[in-house]
Amino acid sequence: MADDTGSLTNRSAALGKLTDSANALQPFLRDGICIGLGGFGLDRKPMALVREIATAPVRGLTLETFAGGLDVEALLASGKVARISACHVGLDHFGLAPLFRTARQSGGVEFEEWSEWTQLAAWRAAAEKAPYAVVPLDPATDLLKVNPHIIPAPTLFGTAPAFAVRAPTIDIAILHAEAVHPDGWALTSGDTYLDPILARAAKRVVVSAERLIDDAELERRHRDVHLIASAVDAVVLAPGGALPGSCLPNHMLDFPAMRRYVEASAAGASSADLSAIALSGLDRAGDES
Amino acid sequence: MSRADRLSWTIARHVRHLPAGTAFTASSSATLGVRLAQQLLGCRLSLWGHGGAYDPAGILSVHARPWLFNRRPHARVTLPGVFDTQSEPHALLATPAQVDGQANANLSGLGEAVRPKVAFGGTRGLPDARAVHFVLPVHSARQLVERVDFVSTCAATRDTPSFLFTELCMMRWSHPAGAWELQEIAPEIDIGGLRARTGFGFAISDELRRIEEIPDAARSLLHVIDPLGLRDLDFISDRSELLDAFQRIYEAEADLVGRDRVPR
């Protein structure tokens, strides 16, 4: 698009931060690092980027996610996870997440349990480079017994009880967007969920997207920008990169695949088989860069 | 009349009195109850609108069926915004795995917390809400237990006395009694029968009433705002039957919003 300055037009020809998922992630993956997973439940989960991590030679990962779904399941199936920090992991109306459940029940993976607000506050603290945040919380909750990173805060003002939540260290955040500009501006016309906070909280941010946009569309849809370019380190084109989950408003979830996952789990399928279903949508979509 | 219709109406009759603010619902019955209360009873609660099962373009987000009815949300509230609104009057209509006689709710697991015998998904927002009410559509001693193993939240800590809605009754937490108090009971069961199907003891209100049948106006409206019958899903427990029902709804919704939105 021609504009008065020409600067946007000139830059649109450049690749910007566009790369492929291997180059975006592999050089930065290490044993024991913390991966932040964007999206919510079964919507806008970065499954194409998850697959890249699932095949990487790393171990002992911590997963930090607000509402985990098949992303957590696929990484559990890969055997690379030591710890999950979340307020919930499940398959929404498809029921409980079977591999997450097994991992908790076997004690094979540590589960650091949060409430939604405490985890949100902890992420906000990390985004603001603060060591902790203070939030109200039901003082009777057993989260105070099981999560050492939620503790009563000193009463500095007033008498109401408050709780301090420690900011996590998130090494890499992986997110999926409806569209992204090569410079890193990411768009969604659906719910942003906690992606903007997670992006600012993490040291490195990789965004996959259904499609690329140019300067003209960025200008036209600037109100839909939910991730600013300065917060994004790498951009990966991955149409269908959230499958078998949805990427609203682009596409609904893949119901047959979800049904296969639930029924295979109930029939006693192996982790490898479940992982294959969880990542199956990517075989027909995939990384196009 | 279906069980779901009556439950939605029971919820509507009681949430109508909650102060204006936001409502976050975790079951079809609860969502419909708020919608009925909004449209028929002057309720001023706004449902969490934007992240619901219908996105702004009306596309089904099957991941979030409890919010299926927010096609025309009253307010555009993103997920983080839900928490920002909690400094205002707010009502969480939650569906935990278990509720006990001390108003504790469990969404974490059974047995030891570190290595549970049965793991659920996690506590979610139960301890966060300023007012929390429980909707357990199917009344069962399996979910209404004497004592939970993990306290995700204790509703008795809230100033606003919590409601407990099931298909068979409405109870309300009594701060003075330190117990759930039965205030309404379904016509098809007596108190002895209800006790037999409840894992905890409860008090009985001096003004105990029968649950009202849903009036024609509310039933007609339910068919308009829930044409696919999502409210009945709350009462399907068999996995295959539930998946079949979801699949029917998914296909119908795909026809509505356009087949180009279905992954190929």
ipTM of the complex: 0.91
* Domain residue extents for chain A: 20-254+266-284
Instruction: Give the CATH number of domain B96-212; options: 3.30.559.10, 3.40.190.80, 3.40.50.720, 3.40.1080.10.
Output: 3.40.1080.10
- Cβ A194–B239 below 8 Å, yes or no? no
Q: Is residue B40 very low, low, confident or very high in pLDDT (cuts 50, 70, 90)? A: very high
pLDDT tens by residue, chain A, 289 residues: 434 443 444 554 468 999 999 999 999 999 999 999 999 888 899 999 999 999 999 999 999 999 999 999 999 999 999 999 999 999 987 889 999 999 999 999 999 999 999 999 999 999 999 999 999 999 999 999 999 999 999 988 888 889 999 999 999 999 999 999 999 999 998 778 899 999 999 999 999 999 999 999 999 999 999 999 999 999 999 999 999 998 877 888 899 999 999 999 999 999 999 999 999 876 655 445 4
Nearest to A191 among B50, B233, B253 (CB): B50
pLDDT (0 to 100) of residue A284:
55
CA distance B97 to B105: 7
Nearest to B109 among A104, A140, A252 (CB): A104
Report the C-alpha dihedral over residues B10, B13, B18, B21, rounded to 10 degrees. 90
- Cβ A284–B264 below 8 Å, yes or no? yes
pLDDT (0 to 100) of residue A288:
52
CA distance A272 to B5: 43
CA distance B122 to A178: 28
| Fold entry, domain A20-254+266-284 | Glutaconate Coenzyme A-transferase (3.40.1080)
Higher pLDDT, B128 or A142: A142
Q: Give tens-digit pLDDT for B217-240.
A: 999 988 887 877 778 888 988 889
Q: Specify the residue for token string 């910007």.
A: A16
pLDDT (0 to 100) of residue B89:
56
CA distance to A11, A103, B49, B82, B128, per residue, from A118 (Å): 41, 23, 22, 13, 8
pLDDT (0 to 100) of residue B152:
97
Per residue in B79-113, is it b (16+ CB within 10 Å) or e — as a string? bbbbbebbeebbbbbbbbbbbbbbbbbbbbbbeeb
Query: Strand A163-166 to strand A150-152: parallel, antiparallel, or no bridges (unpaired)?
Result: antiparallel
- Cβ B113–A101 below 8 Å, yes or no? no
Q: If you count them, how many residues does chain A have?
A: 289
Closest-approach residue (CA) in chain B for A265? B239
Q: What single-letter amino acid sits at A242?
A: A
CB contacts of B118 in chain A (<8 Å) are 105
HSE (CB half, 13 Å, CA atoms) of B105?
Answer: 30
Question: How close B78 gets to chain A, by Cα (Å)?
Answer: 6
CB contacts of A89 in chain B (<8 Å) are 121-122
Q: Would an 8 Å CB–CB cutoff place A92 in contact with chain B?
A: yes
Q: Is residue B63 very low, low, confident or very high in pLDDT (cuts 50, 70, 90)? A: very low
CA distance A168 to B117: 28
Q: Would an 8 Å CB–CB cutoff place A128 in contact with chain B?
A: no
* Dihedral sign of CA atoms B17, B23, B26, B28 in order: positive
pLDDT (0 to 100) of residue A5:
40
Residue A68 has phi, psi (to 5 degrees) of -80, 155
Q: Give tens-digit pLDDT for B66-103.
A: 334 334 444 455 677 767 665 555 788 999 999 999 99
Q: Would an 8 Å CB–CB cutoff place A246 in contact with chain B?
A: yes
pLDDT (0 to 100) of residue B245:
87
Asked if residues A246 and A281 have their Cβ atoms less than 8 Å apart, the reply is no
Q: What is the mean pLDDT of residues B197-202?
A: 98
The answer on pLDDT for B60 being more than 80 is: no
CB contacts of B250 in chain A (<8 Å) are 252, 255
Least confident span in A186-195, B100-109, B150-159:
A186-195
CA distance A180 to A263: 35
Q: Would an 8 Å CB–CB cutoff place B200 in contact with chain A?
A: no
HSE (CB half, 13 Å, CA atoms) of A248?
Answer: 26
Q: Which of B28, B61, B253 to mutate to test the interface with A (most CBs of A within 10 A)?
A: B61
* Domain residue extents for chain B: 1-94+215-252, 96-212
DSSP result, chain A: ---SS-HHHHHHTS-TTEE-HHHHHGGG--TT-EEEE-SBTTBS--HHHHHHHHTSS--SEEEEEEEE-HHHHHHHHTT-EEEEEEEEEB-GGG-B-HHHHHHHHHT-SEEEE--HHHHHHHHHHHHTT-SEEEE---TT-THHHH-TTEEEPP--SSS---EEEEPP-EEEEEEEEEEE-TTS-EE-SS--TTHHHHHHHEEEEEEEEEEE--HHHHHHTGGGEEE-GGG--EEEE-TTTTTTSBBTTTB---HHHHHHHHHHHHTT--HHHHHHHHTTHHHHS----
pLDDT (0 to 100) of residue A271:
95
Question: How close B114 gets to chain A, by Cα (Å)?
Answer: 7
Nearest to B119 among A105, A262, A281 (CB): A105
Other beta carbons within 10 angstroms of residue A13's beta carbon come to 10
DSSP lists the bridge partners of residue A133 as: A165
Question: How close A25 gets to chain B, by Cα (Å)?
Answer: 26
CB contacts of A189 in chain B (<8 Å) are 55-57
Other beta carbons within 10 angstroms of residue A6's beta carbon come to 10
CA distance A60 to B126: 30
The answer on pLDDT for B52 being more than 70 is: no
Interface A-B: count of C-beta contacts within 8 A: 192
Q: Which residues contact B217 (CB under 8 A, 6 or more apart)?
A: B40
Q: Is residue B19 very low, low, confident or very high in pLDDT (cuts 50, 70, 90)? A: confident
Tell me, what DSSP letter sits at residue B60? B
Longest Cα pair distance anywhere in chain B, in angstroms?
59
